[in-house]
């Protein structure tokens, strides 16, 4: 399965914040939308970074409550791993596991077109396994 299939199922909506957004503002977005990470973008197309709940918690621990009034650019991950819609899901699953990342922006022609979470990847694996199981069962029962 390709990343494009995941995007086809879940949609291409990507929540972004600007680099100047405060961490407090970021927390409001995460809470309101019940999501764990957002892409940091100056224009909703280019990727400046990615910031997650984990980033906030770690910086709160290190720096204290004053981090809440800092811009997200101060706590975001600057080097973002991305994928393309043509990439295979199993390859992304391996990358996410090896590098312990939970959200990967999807880029095409240098533009942000979606985001895939580890939950999306797991759902696709379960779906593929269910399809294979059904096909094997039908084969064994002679329905194929």
- Give the separation between CA 17 and CA 4, rounded to whole angstroms: 24
User: Tell me, what CATH number does 101's domain have?
Assistant: 3.10.580.10
By C-alpha distance, which of 128, 144, 126 is closest to 136? 144
Handedness of CA 22, 27, 29, 30 (dihedral sign): positive
Residue 40 pLDDT > 80: yes
Residue 130 binned pLDDT confidence (cut-offs 50, 70, 90): low
User: What is the tally of structural domains in the chain?
Assistant: 1
Give the model confidence (pLDDT) of 60-76 as tens digits.
999 999 999 999 999 99
Residue 104 pLDDT > 90: yes
Q: In what order do the strands lie in the sheet with 16-17?
A: 16-17, 37-40, 49-52
Residue 34 pLDDT > 80: yes
| Arithmetic mean of pLDDT, 85-101 | 94
Structural domain span for residue 59: 3-140
121 burial type by CB count under 10 A (0-12 exposed, 13-18 middle, 19+ buried): buried
| Arithmetic mean of pLDDT, 107-129 | 88
Task: Judge whether 51 and 40 are in contact, CB under 8 Å.
Answer: yes
Residue 58 pLDDT > 90: yes
């Amino acid at each position: 399965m390709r990343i494009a299939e995941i995007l086809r199922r879940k949609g291409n909506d990507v929540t972004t914040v600007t680099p100047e957004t405060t961490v407090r503002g970021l927390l409001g977005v995460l809470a309101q939308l019940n999501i764990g990470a957002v892409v940091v973008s100056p224009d909703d197309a280019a990727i400046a970074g990615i910031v997650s709940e984990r980033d906030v918690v770690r910086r709160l621990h290190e720096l204290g409550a004053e981090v809440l009034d800092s811009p997200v650019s101060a706590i975001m991950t600057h080097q973002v791993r991305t994928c393309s819609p043509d990439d295979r899901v199993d390859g992304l699953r391996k990358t996410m596991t090896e590098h312990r990342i939970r959200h990967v922006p999807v880029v095409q022609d240098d533009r942000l077109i979606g985001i895939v979470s580890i939950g999306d990847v797991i759902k696709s694996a379960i779906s593929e396994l269910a399809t294979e199981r059904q096909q094997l069962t039908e084969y064994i029962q002679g329905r194929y």
